[in-house]
Structure 1
């Protein structure tokens, strides 16, 4: 961890909801998207899109949530401190996820979810 200001590096992924995972998976595969994991019967499917990902989540979004934008940052903990110092309230402290990222979530004023993340190993 460093005392440097975190750098917003890239949009890593966008997650959207789907009412029909099988139809959505078939649609994106017909367009040439390469599936990373998931599938027609999964509740979560991820496709490669260049260096990033398009994620599909089964079901309807909560009332104010359309999906999630995942933004890679240089230092998740420094970004968390910046967010807290700005008077904003993340959903939880940063944590290491089983899929290999350190992350935390924050909602914007309209309820859209931002996830600030960094791969655990580059």
Structure 2
């Protein structure tokens, strides 16, 4: 029996605020999802899910606010210019940049931003 990564879940304090960030990244999420407590976005082979803290409490039997960086979500941009533009757009919309775009030693254009819940989100091209 094998396993397959099917879904990545993100626990959010404010669904609309979180979804707005991921919309700015380019994910197609209907505005009608803003009031939901669980939202899923289909990707290429993997779903991205968003759950409110209340849902997480029910699933996990409790909730402790996490601290520190534990996992990376990395989104591929179509080009270095597209990455630069996206990073600038996110900052202009009030999102926190953690590391401005740079040319990484491994050959990619790379940048890091924070989503509204403090998760580090990598952008690369």
| Higher RCO (CA 8 Å, separation ≥ 6 residues) | 1
Task: With the length of structure 1 as denominator, give the TM-score of the two structures.
Answer: 0.43
Higher helix share: 2
Task: With the length of structure 2 as denominator, give the TM-score of the two structures.
Answer: 0.42
Higher strand share: 1
